[in-house]
Amino acid sequence: MKRIRKCKSSLIIATQNIADFTGSENVKKKFTGIINNVQYTLVGGMQPNDLNNLNDMYKQSGGLSEAIKTYIAKASQ
């Protein structure tokens, strides 16, 4: 992230399945560091298990609020 900021660049990470970033503890740790340092996050509807995984990744920065979790859960309906 420091190198990207230093070059005044952007990083876009995209996936259709949050499990891509929770498969191993090493990947989860690195992705959690990235996700807690981004300015914007765009999230679509998720299955409950995926939403719990996303919330776990945001715990370092306080986790997702109940309102946000409800909004994401209803987004796929």
pLDDT tens for the chain, 77 residues long, are 667 778 888 888 888 888 888 888 888 888 888 888 888 888 888 888 989 988 988 888 888 999 999 998 888 66
Q: Give me the pLDDT at residue 68, please.
A: 92
Q: Give me the pLDDT at residue 67, please.
A: 94
Q: Is 67 helix (H, G, I), strand (E, B) or coil?
A: helix
All structural domains of the chain with their residue ranges: 2-8+16-75
Q: Give me the pLDDT at residue 66, please.
A: 94
Q: Give me the pLDDT at residue 31, please.
A: 85
Asked if 68 and 75 count as a contact pair (C-beta separation under 8 A), the reply is: no
Burial (CB count <10 Å: 0-12, 13-18, 19+), residue 73: middle
